[in-house]
Structure 1
């Protein structure tokens, strides 16, 4: 889903759901969909940095980690860079996945590779 689309993060051990509007969301569990929103935890969330970069780099990173979003991608058009965080189920935290050769690679979907040079040009 592409923004604007409400995503209500919810998890069994959390008392309340939290609404976020990611730039791009990939949801593999179709049970969370209804007409206007998605309830659950997306598989991948992509945020494109803007002037409020601290929101995406600090606050949302911590929030998505807390709810167990499997992958969190941060794209920074101003520096033509990107970061990929993958959720480690054992550690219950994100690990930064080093990306090389300007190719964004998903740990979850091994065939998903994006040439970021083409995105930034």
Structure 2
């Protein structure tokens, strides 16, 4: 990660600073503005395939959810994250004070599912974002580690590509890990037919 701004700023200062029409993505991590690594082609394919799979499922079941092109999630401590994929609830989004004008999410009740695709900054996905999404009360969080980059604590040993589904139960995340040959089991999308191998290959034809 590259530090984009040297001094510490609060969330509102970060939003005010954020460059319009920037080709780069930025997040606010505990008061520090961070330029996020540019996604590789494969990273973008995996995120896009996941987004598309969820979009189809929402439409098929006529669920009151939607997937925005982009948004910023404000954590309890004032950090700000741009998830790779986020599924929002149309029935609760009207309660968000900053959604209509700023595309900012501040309440876990607005979110049905959040997805991060792991890259070189894997510690963010498994540590700080996991902690902050849990504290915000986001009911389901997917970490798609298609390269098996995470630490042994998170994906086991020997390391291998892992799809982790964190489900909020009584305020704390419980995790199920899936690997090639498994089908993703999602509490939010209970009828979802999504093989892990399809996600990791981003739907490539064999």
TM-score, structure 2 as length reference = 0.49
Q: How does 1:33-112 map to 2 (within 5 A)?
A: 33-39=99-105, 40-41=107-108, 42-79=111-148, 80-89=161-170, 92-99=171-178, 101-112=181-192
For residue 20 of structure 1, the aligned residue among 77, 81, 100 is 81
List runs of 5+ in structure 2 lacking aligned partners.
1-66, 149-160, 202-206
Residues 2 and 50 of structure 1: is their aligned pair in 2 closer, same or farther, counting only changes over 3 Å?
farther
Alignment correspondent of 1:30: 93
TM-score, structure 1 as length reference = 0.79
1:4, distance to aligned residue in structure 2 (A): 4.1
Summarize deviations over 1:63-110 as a string: whole Å, max 9, x none.
111111000100012133210010013xx1111135474211211221
Q: Which has the higher strand share?
A: 1
1:34, distance to aligned residue in structure 2 (A): 1.2
Residues 120 and 70 of structure 1: is their aligned pair in 2 closer, same or farther, counting only changes over 3 Å?
same
The RMSD of aligned alpha carbons is: 2.2
List runs of 5+ in structure 1 lacking aligned partners.
none
Contact map agreement 1:76 1:82 (CA 8 A) in 2: yes
Q: How many residues align?
A: 114
1:8, distance to aligned residue in structure 2 (A): 3.1
Question: For 1:105, what is the secondary structure of its paired residue?
Answer: coil
Q: Which has the higher helix share?
A: 2
